[in-house]
Chains A and B, each alone.
Chain A
Amino acid sequence: MAYQLPGWAALAPTLTFVAAALVLFLIDSIDPDSENRALLAGTATVGSLVAAGFAAWFLIAGTGEEPFTLYADSLVVDSMSLFFAFVFASVTAMVVVASYDYMRDHSYQGEYYALVMLAATGMTLMPAANSLAVVFISLELASLPSYALVAILKKNRGSVEAGLKYFLIGALSSSILAYGISLVYGVSGTLLLPEIASAVEIEGLTGVLGIGVLMILGGFAFKTASVPFHFWAPEAYEGAPAPISAFLSSASKAAGFAVAFRVFTVAFPVEAYVATIDWVLAVQILAVVTMTLGNFAAATQDTVKRMLAYSSVGHAGYALIALASLTGTGSDQFVLGGGMAHLLVYGFMNTGAFLFVALAEYWSVGRTFEDYNGLAKQAPFACAAMTLFMFNLAGLPVGAGFMSKYFLFAGAVGAGFWWLTAVGAINSALSLYYYSRVVKAMWIEEPTQEFAIESKPVGLYAAIAAAAVVTVLLLPGFGPVWAFAQDAAAALV
């Protein structure tokens, strides 16, 4: 390249989100009661797509192959941060496009999109954080707009209650995270992740450091909705506007994993910590409990959205396998890459599933499984897409959901944790039960009600179609995804 971009340009995805948020604030301050949904949603969409484009461009151009650090090492841009930036930006784009229809009759349009952009800014910063201070700030930057977004339907009691609960649990978790960071800092005397790694050698302070490590783990468990920090998730996902549920359960969860991957592999490397502070064992316990509890609870739900909420808890358990199978040996890259690839695919299929729920809410179809009966006769395309998402979430080979889960499980087996895979496989089998309930209701059952489907909202359909197409195309195109995921994992281990 003839012209060398300045170093800060590597943060282009993040900066694009910031810029989009500022533009939205500008529009909102000029015309506070703007009903121009096309302008607002359009600005946000353009911002997300440009951010995704930057991330993809950097990934393909190989910008992250040599990680480079910014601002006194507090930020690092490498393949891994770009990979996740791409995931968040894609999910954000789909969510914003879908919101164009979903938020049709609601006020606070400008604030809504601006908050989404700010949350996305925080998320793209999280995987790039190279210092515990930035970890905390970016996590809060992603969380605080999320609380407001969950509660944005001000006249809906469910939404407001969910937002408040989310905020309270979030505050508790943040305090645990902050306390954990302070303990680790107290032992190691530094906030930079690579330097913390040697803190374990300090004699006599192992217990303090260990408590700090586990508290940090707890803070991340909140973000990823892992048991026992998951309590907010079913309520928040159910009460929030469905596009926001999609946003939180896909992008926000992936952000939590991204930051956890980096912090735990760089600051607390397994080979050094496993003897005294066996956080891998803790993650294994969390993974098993999260998978099992999420799937068991999902099996007994009556409403589709809440079922998806619990299934998303279950998927957090699968993704935790990537962290729980680290051994400090050569198998780490494979399983970590498997986890990242799964999060990417999950970003599309889970977003798609929640957006279908958004579509059902848009049509006022109802919330329970029975309300979906016979929907396929009215909306065959959307129902076909939903069927695809359900089967992919269950891990059937109709899309990339099978491949990513397969590689994740194969990685765990390769690392010697076949029992984690066995628990995951049993849970996947159970998940097929409740996912297929949706499919059965849509396609096989006779309708119990008259659907009042007057229009087919373009934005929602476009977002669902995009999610479906990507989910399917990633099956044949899994090769490049896998290559990028492996690069991203190689940046860490």
Chain B
Amino acid sequence: MAALPFELAPAIAALPFVSFLIALLVGAFAPRLLPKGGAIPGILATAGSLVLSVWAAVAVWNHPDGMYHDSITWVAGVGDAAFDLQFGILLDPLSTMMLVIVSLVAVLVHVFSLGYMNDEGETGLPRYYAGLGLFTASMLSFVFASNLLMAFMFFELVGLCSWLLIGFWFREPGPPSAAKKAFLVTRFGDYFFLVGVVGVFATFGTTAFVGSESFPILADQVLAGEGASVTTFLGLDPQAWFSVLGLLILGGVIGKSAQFPLHTWLPDAMEGPTPVSALIHAATMVAAGVYLVARIYGFYALLPQVMALIALVGGFTALFAATMGVVKREIKQVLAYSTISQYGYMMLGLGAGGYVAATFHLMTHAFFKALLFLGAGSVIIAMHHNENMWDMGGLKEKMPVTYYAFLSGSLALAGIVPFSGFWSKDEVLYEALVHGLESPILLAAYAMGLLAVFFTGFYTFRMVFLTFHGKPRTDTARDPHAVGWNVKVPLVVLGTLAAVAGLVNMVPVAEVTGIHLEFLHDWLDAGPEALTAHHYADLIPYASGEIGSPLLTVLLSAGVSLGLALSGAGAAWLLYDVPEPIRHTDRLGRVKTVLFNNYYQDEFQVWLANGVTLPLARVADKFDQGVIDGVVNGVSSVSLFSGGRIKRIQTGVVSNYAFLLTMGLVVLLVFIGVTGGWF
């Protein structure tokens, strides 16, 4: 019998699932009985999940093993080389931290939805809250999944909910198309993930994350030559084959976390309701990909090539998306590209061996990006659902709570000390730098990440100034719609967190003063040995370098990134913090056109579909119609013809039967007799 908070762990996911069922069933059969269209059950359920998650986190901290793991077998293997399929719960520092983040953001988004959806008189609310409930349940289940297959199943459910919610306003042309795009692009990545899951099963016979028989441990033992045996395929040695598996799983990660080149769905996903963007497309679902890498970091840390690729993709995505965010007109578009960019940082951190740094950034980003989206939602309510920043301006005086909360989030996003984003982004860049000093690939990734800091500062404050500063540029901006408590409370909570969450892990301050301030580090080190930060630190295939002394390296890294962030913000201040800002980006000329069209990535993908895949599919179809179907049709006409012949053997005359029967036996006898040498 495990401790009570662990026994209650399934309820963390079950509660939102119940709220999903309530919203769905009561909404369908007795809509009048449903308070606030399903918001109240949703808020109660997610609040319950939050309480249970915090309780579980405390229990994990106090537990001697630092984790709780239990599973049930839902498909038992049959035969010799069989393996069982299991559902399980793994609570360790990483997963409980993520549980707390997800359930906290979910509660706040539910509350915010009261203002954004209910007060705005939207229809179809039960459907909306059912979607949120199912999403929260799936995401929480994904987080505490104890094996890769279970993680994959809930990964897919999360994608389904994203599709349902992006397309919530299905009567307009944009949302259904965006939902379809999000679904197809992430599915493309998930396809590789699925192959990877099957590959992991075939290789290790298990997909468990933890325990002496878990696949990261087995992989470690195989590579160290310590007895464990696995099956590899394609004639590859274990190291190369594991890299293939790692890359396959990475396919799902890149799709879900919107990394280059599968990032194109995320900006379109902004067609969904803004609270959905905050919950799903900023704070949680997009985090699923990065979380998955962190979850099986013990596996990735064994694969230097894959790690380098993760770092490169992350660094490139961070820079690439940040440049596109510079020219966007709509507030949610800016946030969408900043989301892609920030997840790039997390990938950079993971690829560079900074497990704690990336997890740290995952946490702070969840808070400040949810905050920014909810703040943007508040602005959108005020602006009567006009999202164009050029129609705003001067909202600072009209909506001070939103402004200050948004400012807190922006400072965090831009990475200005002492807001949370500074500490986490700085740690990511610091890890990339110290490991990059010994590895040119990482150094290149670091350089891209560093450059992106400038752009981040610029687009963030361009957004702030255009929205809140200067003079109102339209009538709506002069007389904005008021927002209620249910909008302000989530903003205040998240605004505070965005400001202070970084204080849990102030590495530079700790280095300088020698005071122990790395609480997140301690937290992530508290789990079972194989899942701890120091174990991963031993595994990663990098050496650390330094510039001068360790202290100098820390200060230099922090100073450079802070300087770049400030100069980006300063540039925005110079250009846009004026009463009548003008479109300076027009001066970029054709560069702006390229940026505005997102480097023609969408066009490229459409061309890939229309120009390459479609002709190929046509050829395949020709082949299928002509050759395969020809053979199949041939077989079926042959079989029908011979079937007709066989029918004729059945004459209905018994003496014929007796003759055929006897002849058949005699032929068989002679044949077997001759082969057996009887005669």
Question: With a CB–CB cut-off of 8 A, which chain B residues contact A211?
Answer: 669, 673, 678
**B654 is an interface residue with CB less than 8 A from chain A:** yes
Bound CA span A479–B678, Å: 45
Cβ of B654 and Cβ of A215 under 8 Å apart? no
Question: With a CB–CB cut-off of 8 A, which chain B residues contact A279?
Answer: 672
Interface size class of chain A, counting residues whose CB lies under 8 Å from the partner chain: 35 or more
Cβ of A234 and Cβ of B650 under 8 Å apart? yes
**A334 is an interface residue with CB less than 8 A from chain B:** yes
Question: With a CB–CB cut-off of 8 A, which chain A residues contact B650?
Answer: 231, 234-235, 297
Selected from A210, A227, A296, A482, the residue in CB contact (under 8 A) with B673 is A210
Cβ of A276 and Cβ of B676 under 8 Å apart? yes
Cβ of B658 and Cβ of A277 under 8 Å apart? no
Question: With a CB–CB cut-off of 8 A, which chain A residues contact B660?
Answer: 228, 231
User: Which residues B633-679 have CB closer than 8 A to chain A?
Assistant: 636, 639-640, 642-644, 646-647, 650, 652, 654, 657-658, 660-665, 668-669, 671-673, 675-679
Cβ of A277 and Cβ of B661 under 8 Å apart? no
Cβ of B672 and Cβ of A214 under 8 Å apart? yes
**B76 is an interface residue with CB less than 8 A from chain A:** yes
Cβ of A276 and Cβ of B678 under 8 Å apart? yes
Question: With a CB–CB cut-off of 8 A, which chain A residues contact B669?
Answer: 211, 214
Q: What are 23 A-B interface contacts by the 8 Å CB criterion?
A: A168-B654, A172-B661, A176-B665, A207-B678, A214-B669, A228-B664, A229-B664, A232-B657, A235-B650, A235-B652, A281-B675, A282-B672, A285-B668, A293-B646, A296-B643, A297-B647, A299-B643, A300-B640, A300-B646, A300-B647, A301-B647, A430-B639, A479-B76
Which residue of B78, B646, B662 has the most chain A CB atoms within 10 A of its CB atom?
B646
Grouping DSSP codes into helix (H, G, I), strand (E, B) and loop, the B interface class, with mixed when no group exceeds half, is helix
Question: With a CB–CB cut-off of 8 A, which chain B residues contact A227?
Answer: 664
**A169 is an interface residue with CB less than 8 A from chain B:** yes
Cβ of A300 and Cβ of B643 under 8 Å apart? yes
**B225 is an interface residue with CB less than 8 A from chain A:** no
Cβ of B657 and Cβ of A165 under 8 Å apart? yes
- Whether A169 contacts B676 in the complex (CB less than 8 A), given A235-B652, A299-B640, comes out as no
**B64 is an interface residue with CB less than 8 A from chain A:** no
Cβ of B679 and Cβ of A207 under 8 Å apart? yes
**B79 is an interface residue with CB less than 8 A from chain A:** yes
**A218 is an interface residue with CB less than 8 A from chain B:** yes
**A182 is an interface residue with CB less than 8 A from chain B:** no
Bound CA span A287–B344, Å: 60
- A211: nearest residue on chain B (CB-CB)? B669
Cβ of B639 and Cβ of A228 under 8 Å apart? no
User: Which residues A295-309 have CB closer than 8 A to chain B?
Assistant: 295-301
User: Which residues B480-528 have CB closer than 8 A to chain A?
Assistant: none
- B639: nearest residue on chain A (CB-CB)? A296
Number of interchain pairs (Cβ within 8 Å) = 96
Instruction: List chain A positions with a Cβ less than 8 A from chain B.
Output: 164-165, 168-169, 172-173, 176, 206-207, 210-211, 214-215, 218, 227-229, 231-232, 234-235, 275-279, 281-282, 285-286, 293, 295-301, 334, 407, 414, 430, 433, 479, 482
Question: With a CB–CB cut-off of 8 A, which chain A residues contact B639?
Answer: 295-296, 299, 430
**Chain B nearest CB, measured from A354 CB (Å):** 19
Which residue of A275, A281, A297, A479 has the most chain B CB atoms within 10 A of its CB atom?
A297
Cβ of A165 and Cβ of B654 under 8 Å apart? yes
Chain B 146-165: CB-based contact to A (< 8 A → 1; otherwise 0): 00000000000000000000
Grouping DSSP codes into helix (H, G, I), strand (E, B) and loop, the A interface class, with mixed when no group exceeds half, is helix
Instruction: List chain B positions with a Cβ less than 8 A from chain A.
Output: 76, 78-79, 636, 639-640, 642-644, 646-647, 650, 652, 654, 657-658, 660-665, 668-669, 671-673, 675-679
Question: With a CB–CB cut-off of 8 A, which chain A residues contact B678?
Answer: 206-207, 210-211, 276-277
Cβ of A278 and Cβ of B675 under 8 Å apart? yes
- A330: nearest residue on chain B (CB-CB)? B80
- Whether A276 contacts B677 in the complex (CB less than 8 A), given A165-B657, A229-B661, A232-B657, comes out as yes
Bound CA span A286–B671, Å: 13
Bound CA span A275–B650, Å: 36
Question: With a CB–CB cut-off of 8 A, which chain B residues contact A165?
Answer: 654, 657
Cβ of A278 and Cβ of B654 under 8 Å apart? no
**Chain B nearest CB, measured from A102 CB (Å):** 25
Question: With a CB–CB cut-off of 8 A, which chain A residues contact B668?
Answer: 214, 218, 282, 285-286
Bound CA span A282–B672, Å: 7
Cβ of B646 and Cβ of A169 under 8 Å apart? no
- Whether A334 contacts B79 in the complex (CB less than 8 A), given A228-B664, A281-B675, comes out as yes
- Whether A169 contacts B643 in the complex (CB less than 8 A), given A281-B675, A282-B672, comes out as no
Cβ of B672 and Cβ of A210 under 8 Å apart? yes
Bound CA span A211–B658, Å: 19
Question: With a CB–CB cut-off of 8 A, which chain A residues contact B663?
Answer: 228
Bound CA span A173–B660, Å: 12
Bound CA span A90–B663, Å: 37
Bound CA span A477–B642, Å: 39
- B657: nearest residue on chain A (CB-CB)? A231
**Chain B nearest CB, measured from A153 CB (Å):** 18
- Whether A168 contacts B676 in the complex (CB less than 8 A), given A176-B665, A214-B665, A214-B668, comes out as no
**Chain B nearest CB, measured from A361 CB (Å):** 21
**Chain A nearest CB, measured from B654 CB (Å):** 5
Selected from A168, A232, A281, A433, the residue in CB contact (under 8 A) with B636 is A433
Question: With a CB–CB cut-off of 8 A, which chain A residues contact B76?
Answer: 479
Question: With a CB–CB cut-off of 8 A, which chain A residues contact B671?
Answer: 282, 285
Cβ of A297 and Cβ of B646 under 8 Å apart? yes
The 4 A-B pairs at the shortest CB distance, nearest first, are namely A228-B664, A207-B678, A300-B643, A231-B657
Selected from B644, B652, B657, B679, the residue in CB contact (under 8 A) with A169 is B657
Bound CA span A75–B372, Å: 82
Selected from B642, B644, B676, the residue in CB contact (under 8 A) with A278 is B676
Question: With a CB–CB cut-off of 8 A, which chain B residues contact A293?
Answer: 646
**Chain A nearest CB, measured from B230 CB (Å):** 22
Bound CA span A168–B662, Å: 13
Bound CA span A231–B647, Å: 11
Cβ of A277 and Cβ of B652 under 8 Å apart? no
Bound CA span A214–B675, Å: 14
Question: With a CB–CB cut-off of 8 A, which chain B residues contact A299?
Answer: 639-640, 643
**Chain B nearest CB, measured from A231 CB (Å):** 4
Cβ of B676 and Cβ of A210 under 8 Å apart? yes
Bound CA span A141–B79, Å: 38
**Chain B nearest CB, measured from A336 CB (Å):** 14
Question: With a CB–CB cut-off of 8 A, which chain B residues contact A276?
Answer: 676-678
- B78: nearest residue on chain A (CB-CB)? A482
Bound CA span A228–B660, Å: 7
Bound CA span A172–B672, Å: 22
Cβ of B675 and Cβ of A297 under 8 Å apart? no
Bound CA span A435–B253, Å: 43
Cβ of B646 and Cβ of A207 under 8 Å apart? no
Question: With a CB–CB cut-off of 8 A, which chain B residues contact A169?
Answer: 654, 657-658, 661
Question: With a CB–CB cut-off of 8 A, which chain B residues contact A298?
Answer: 643
Additional A-B contact list (12), CB under 8 Å, known A210-B672, A210-B676: A169-B658, A172-B661, A207-B678, A207-B679, A229-B664, A277-B678, A281-B675, A282-B671, A293-B646, A295-B639, A300-B646, A482-B78
Bound CA span A301–B648, Å: 12
Question: With a CB–CB cut-off of 8 A, which chain A residues contact B657?
Answer: 165, 169, 231-232
Cβ of B665 and Cβ of A278 under 8 Å apart? no
Bound CA span A227–B663, Å: 12
Question: With a CB–CB cut-off of 8 A, which chain B residues contact A433?
Answer: 636
Question: With a CB–CB cut-off of 8 A, which chain B residues contact A286?
Answer: 668
Bound CA span A169–B390, Å: 93
Bound CA span A168–B79, Å: 45
- Whether A218 contacts B665 in the complex (CB less than 8 A), given A231-B660, A276-B677, A297-B647, comes out as yes
Cβ of A297 and Cβ of B643 under 8 Å apart? yes
Bound CA span A168–B657, Å: 10
Bound CA span A436–B642, Å: 20
Bound CA span A235–B672, Å: 30
Question: With a CB–CB cut-off of 8 A, which chain A residues contact B677?
Answer: 276
**Chain B nearest CB, measured from A44 CB (Å):** 31
Cβ of A277 and Cβ of B672 under 8 Å apart? yes
- A293: nearest residue on chain B (CB-CB)? B646
**Chain A nearest CB, measured from B581 CB (Å):** 63
